[in-house]
Each structure stands twice: as structure tokens, then as C-alpha cells.
Amino acid sequence: MSILFSPFTLCGLTLKNRVVMAPMTRARALNDIPDDLTVLYYRQRAGAGLIVSEGVPVSIQGRGYLFNPGLYNQEQVEGWKRVTRAVHEEGGKIFAQLWHVGRVSHTTLQPDGGAPVSSSHKLAANSLAYAYNEEHEPGQIQASAPRALSTEEIPGITNDFVQAARKAMEAGFDGVEIHGANGYLFEQFINPTVNDRTDHYGGSIQNRIRLLLETIDAVAQEVGRAKVGVRISPFGRLFDMAPFDDEAQTWVEVARGIQQRDIAYVHLSDQLTIGAEGMPDGFARSFRETFRGTLIAAGGFDRKSAERALESGELDLIAFGRPFIANPDLVERMKNGWPLATPDRSTFYGSSGKKGYVDYPVYESVE
């Protein structure tokens, strides 16, 4: 059997294969509550050993996109219960990705129409939220100017993650993934081109990574270390994340902090496939030498490259994103060498019902 399709034990949780369905925003949940289509979407893709849900906002303030099912009220918990039950009925496992977008939001999405929050007041240039435009129609719109969180407000952010993690457990998730990647709130603290703070959340590397590590600690205390993963994107450039001098050292220190906390996994998001520069030579080795736990990576893998990464010991699990959109039976297609369908990019996001969401057939039905 190919190593990609062999079982893997993740902190006592048995995964039926080493394929992970990566988190993908689909913006399909009206009223921000999982519905029948959400349930079907995840059920169809439960052939993955592990599903990481789409980003799940931990609060209204944490939203950057319309129609994203959150975990901040009881109706959402009840909706997610149906999703997790469906995944488990198909023999799958599912973690909830807990998310705060920070400045990548719009005033129309914020409580009382306020400014989005971030480490500083710096605008995310050329960065789009998914919100209501002037005609009150949903669509992509430039993110609003943020305000800097006060030092006193920051523990409230961590508490929002704790409360969402508690709700995730109530909803039946097998664990949670803290979204520390892709230019969202945690990265807005980590990157000094955004973070110009003078308190103990700004300046030095240890200060800039403090919020992420404090949140990991608090969530792990709530649900247990074995049920907590974290996603990061070293050298990522999404949403106006600029390069900075001690970038490699910063991410190695993040790796060191996570290693000390002995959580379930780290999930690396490599943005090379969407136009960012690659990680510098030697960085991956330094990161792997520092973080020795379960490592997942996403970023343009196919079956062959996934198998090479697993066989070398470089990675433990491989995440696939867009291939899962048009191929709900992706694991079976890769296992059997069947051709992959191509997703329709025009239906990636938005409340357009079944089209481009749950209407992609399994391979047998298109022969």
C-alpha cells in the first residue's frame, strides 16, 4: 500500500489515510450557520483521513467574509453538530479551524459598523474582504482601515478562541486548528511591517509571537493539547504581508514555542503556488529540526510529490485544497489513478446554492 493511503495515529486519533482536506473558505452558509448543503459538502469529502473545516470565525469581530459559519452562538453549534455527525458516519475525522481575520475585514461586517481590529492602524493595501458593497450586494470589497487593539483588549481575543474551542467540542469536532496563517490576525502581530506596537506584544520576536503562543496555551488548557493544531505560513505574502529582516529567525522561534507546547500538529501553508516566493534554502530543515512533532503541509501537492515527502520523513500528512473542490472522491481518484476534474473558479465563493459546491460527481458517475 502507498504510504499516502496508510493509516496514521494523530495523538491517539486514528486517521484512515494521510490525506488531509485543507481548510477552504466557500462563503455558502446563509446567516453564518451550517445548513443542509454544508452537511452534504463535508460528508462527500469524508474520504480524507482528516478534514480541517473552512475558517470558522470565533466572533462577529473576527469575520472578514459573508456567509461563513462561525462558532460564537448556539445555532451555529447545532448546525456544526450535523456536519461532524455526517463526517463521523463516513469514517472521517474533522478539526474546526478557528479564525480571526483581524484587519482583513470591512465595517459592514463589524459590530455596530466599527473598524476592524489589528496590531496597528495600518491598512491592508490591495486586500479584499467579502462584504456588502454600496448597492448592498455581496462581493469582494477593499478591506477597511483598522484600529489597533489596546493592550487591555487582547486577552479578550484569546478568550474568544477559548470559547469557540469549547463550542467546537460541544459540536462534536475531534479537535481545533488555530489559524495563524495567511495574513490574518496572528500574522499581523508576528510581522513587524504591520506591528508597530510598543507594549509587550510588539518589538522583539518573543513579543510579536506572544499572542499566538498565549492563545495556543489557553485553548490547549480548555480542550487538551492533543486536540489542538496550528496553521502558519512562513514567508507568506497574502494580504499585504511584506518581507522583514529576521523573518527566518522569527518562524524558527514560532516552531520552538510550538514544540515546547507539545500540541497535535503544525500545518504549514506554502504560498508558492499562488505567486509568493518560496521558503529560502535551509529554512525547512531548520524548522523541522526545531519542531519535531506531526507536520502537515499544503501547497500544490499531487500523489507523487506527496508520497516523496512522506517517504523522506519530511512530512507526516499531506493537505490538498482545491483538488477537493471538484473531486469529492479525491482519495479514491488518486488511489486508482483516475483523472481529476477541474473546479470552476467562478463558483469558489458565494451563496450560489449547489452549483460548484455539492454538484461535482464522483468518478464512477462520469464514465
Q: Which domains does the chain have, with CATH numbers?
A: 3-366 (3.20.20.70)
The CA distance from 238 to 126, in Å, is 10
For residue 82, give the 3-state DSSP assignment.
helix
83 pLDDT above the threshold of 90: yes
CA angle 160, 166, 168 (to 5 degrees): 100
| 271, 236 Cβ separation under 8 angstroms | yes
| 157, 166 Cβ separation under 8 angstroms | no
The CA distance from 139 to 345, in Å, is 15
Q: Where are the alpha helices (DSSP H) in the chain?
A: 36-44, 74-89, 154-170, 185-190, 205-208, 210-223, 247-261, 283-290, 303-311, 322-326, 330-336
337 pLDDT above the threshold of 90: yes
The CA distance from 75 to 147, in Å, is 30
Report pLDDT digits (tens) over 42-77. Answer: 999 999 999 999 999 999 999 999 999 999 999 999
Kindly report the backbone phi and psi dihedral angles of residue 206, in degrees, each rounded to the nearest multiple of 5, phi listed first.
-60, -35
* pLDDT at position 281: 74
| Of 61, 103, 58, nearest in space to 195 by CA | 103
318 pLDDT above the threshold of 60: yes
Q: What is the pLDDT averaged over residues 201-228? A: 98
Can you spell out the DSSP letters for 116-154? -EESSS---TT-EEEEE-TTS-EEEEEPPPPEEPPGGGH
CB atoms within 10 A of CB 130: 22
Q: What is the pLDDT averaged over residues 161-180? A: 99
CA angle 312, 226, 175 (to 5 degrees): 100
Can you spell out the DSSP letters for 9-43? EETTEEESSSEEEPP------GGGS--HHHHHHHH
pTM given for the model: 0.95
Q: What is the pLDDT averaged over residues 36-47? A: 98
Catalytic residue, chosen from 42, 130, 184, 357, is 184
271 pLDDT above the threshold of 80: no
Q: What is the pLDDT averaged over residues 275-296? A: 82
The single-letter code of the amino acid at 70 is G
Beta bridge partners of 138: 132
* pLDDT at position 276: 52
The mean-pLDDT minimum among 185-189, 220-224, 233-237, 277-281 falls in: 277-281
* pLDDT at position 181: 96
Kindly report the backbone phi and psi dihedral angles of residue 129, in degrees, each rounded to the nearest multiple of 5, phi listed first.
-90, 170
365 pLDDT above the threshold of 70: no
| pLDDT band at 349; cut points 50, 70, 90 | confident
Comparing 300 with 174, the larger pLDDT belongs to 174
How high is the mean pLDDT of the chain?
Answer: 94
Locus of grid cell 526545531: 290
- Any catalytic annotation for residue 184? yes
